[in-house]
Amino acid sequence: MAVTSMLFFVSALAAAVVYRRMPARARTPWLLLISAAFLAAWNWQFVLVLAVFGLVNYWLGLKIQNRILSGTLVWKVTGIAFNILILFVFKYNRFFLPSLLKLVGGNEQASALQILLPIGLSFLMVQMISYLVDVSHGRLKAERDLVKFGVYILYFPKLVSGPVERARLFLPKLESPLPFNRDLFDRCLSLIITGLLRKLVLANPLFSLIPADAFTNPGTYAGQHLVLYLLAYAFALFNDFAGYTGIVRGISLWFGIELSNNFTLPYFSRNFTEFWNRWHISLSNWLRDYLFFPISRALLKRVPRRENALNLILPPLATMLVSGMWHGLGWNLLVWGGLHGVYQVAERLPGLVHPSVPLDQRPRWRNALGISVTFALTLLAWLPFRMNLPTAWAYLQRMFHWVRPDFFLFGRYLKAETPWLSWSPLNLPNPILLVLLALALGFDLLLKAQAGEKDLWALPRWLQVLLEVLLGLAILASVFVDATAPFVYQAF
């Protein structure tokens, strides 16, 4: 069931109305029931797989809680290993299953395990690891209410693509949901409208204007087109994921449950540390708290000086490599994560020589330069994120081979002497693509001026009407084109 479909919205709204009218003691079981139903709408087998997954983690949490006084290390390590193993078995088996089957004399093409791959498994894995680690460190007590624990795992707004929620923050919200009032209604509507605008008006059209073979055979395109297609991909990817987050956060507020914000205009970041505090925030914070900080603390015990080169290099590099592996098991994603690790190391190394100046105290020109450099290098890093390494390298090289526009052919187009098929043969920018990129940037600038999606209603009334008209046209168009275009991060 697509998150942007009318069926999803009607079903979620009906479930929320029932939730608000039922006794408090029945609300959590109701959330578990409708979340299981949402999962079953994808595949009923997912319910079985995640039920076993949840029961094992529930039992591990209780084991860790019962052993807090006598030692929890063995159970904590067992829990972490179990969750990582589940991810490898169900998500990454295509990398090792053919070789394993060949070794034992089976069919190399068999892929039965992939059929049962539950949606959102990568997100659930990191949530469960944080839960078990937090219980072992005494940050929260193991949840004994199996129904509440089931909702933490299956809660349908965050199931497909997050946000990554910490149990110690999420579980108390089930006990005291926010009251539904005009303030909450405005926030819900603002988040949902902004999310739909990002997905239907910006992300889907931007993706559709990138030729199908641009990222597989870049040698057939002029460099200026490849630059535009990479820009289109960068803004489409951001608006797609940010759009999803906005929609599900708004829907979750119908039930009075606040989910974490995942984006705060990351392409305006002044350096890479700030970028990862603005992009996929819930996962970035998880990586910071459960990888970066533990590695840093372990190194500081051995090398007490923070300015030591090893302390500056290893934590960000290791953290970003793990981030790449979380997104997928492949050399291209390892390179993507490694590039971001190198970027962060490069901006930390000057700290060995002189203290760094806080971003808010830097001159305006330096922050503007920082935004430009951060965006440009982030843009280049999307190449290995999107395509395999040989193609990414070919794409990068081809980006610098610009071709002079064919104005003679343009004249023939205007005279209708040549069929109007594509802008690519002209070697001129597609005007629709330029308009969409300008619209995407302008929309972010507007939200930046208004301090985010929650203040969408602070925009001038004429602008609100314009955005609503654009959204209405996009919804109407999606009825005739593709109303179920999946969100990119559903693949994770």
pLDDT of residue 486 exceeding 70, the answer is: no
Q: What is the average pLDDT score of the chain?
A: 84
Tell whether 355 is covered by a domain.
no
Report the pLDDT value the prediction gives residue 492, as an integer from 0 to 100: 55
Same domain, 102 and 247: no
Tell whether 259 is covered by a domain.
yes
pLDDT of residue 112 exceeding 50, the answer is: no
Report the pLDDT value the prediction gives residue 484, as an integer from 0 to 100: 52
Same domain, 39 and 171: yes
Same domain, 125 and 32: yes
Tell whether 205 is covered by a domain.
yes
> What type of residue is 73?
L
Say how many domains are in the chain. 2
Tell whether 293 is covered by a domain.
no
Report the pLDDT value the prediction gives residue 113, as an integer from 0 to 100: 45
Of residues 26 and 3, more confidently modeled: 26
Tell whether 366 is covered by a domain.
no
Of residues 99 and 435, more confidently modeled: 435
Same domain, 95 and 138: yes
Of residues 109 and 348, more confidently modeled: 348
- In the listed set 175, 201, 235, which residue is the last one of a domain according to the structure? 175
Global pTM reads 0.89
Same domain, 36 and 165: yes
Same domain, 56 and 192: no
Report the pLDDT value the prediction gives residue 231, as an integer from 0 to 100: 96
Same domain, 152 and 55: yes
Helices (H), 67-181: 73-90, 93-103, 112-115, 121-136, 146-154, 156-159, 167-175
- In the listed set 142, 175, 208, which residue is the last one of a domain according to the structure? 175
Average pLDDT over residues 4-11: 83
Same domain, 59 and 165: yes
Same domain, 47 and 196: no
Average pLDDT over residues 123-141: 92
Same domain, 153 and 194: no
Highest average pLDDT, of 198-202, 236-240, 400-404, 460-464, comes from 236-240
pLDDT of residue 137 exceeding 70, the answer is: yes
Task: Tell me the torsion sign for CA atoms 207, 210, 211, 215.
Answer: negative
- In the listed set 175, 199, 220, which residue is the last one of a domain according to the structure? 175
Tell whether 62 is covered by a domain.
yes
Of residues 412 and 91, more confidently modeled: 91
Tell whether 297 is covered by a domain.
no
Same domain, 61 and 134: yes
Torsion of CA 395, 396, 402, 408, to 10 degrees: 20
Helices (H), 277-406: 281-287, 293-302, 309-327, 331-348, 364-386, 389-398
Same domain, 83 and 140: yes
Report the pLDDT value the prediction gives residue 49, as an integer from 0 to 100: 87
The tally of CA atoms less than 13 A away on the side-chain side of residue 312 is 16
Cα–Cα dist 490/90, whole Å: 15
Under 8 Å between Cβ of 135 and 141: yes
Residues 6+ apart with CB under 8 A from 186: 457
Of residues 191 and 114, more confidently modeled: 191
pLDDT tens per residue across span 218-245 = 988 889 899 999 999 999 999 999 999 9
Lowest mean pLDDT among 291-295, 327-331, 354-358, 417-421: 417-421
- By residue range, what is the domain housing residue 486? 182-266+400-491
Tell whether 18 is covered by a domain.
yes
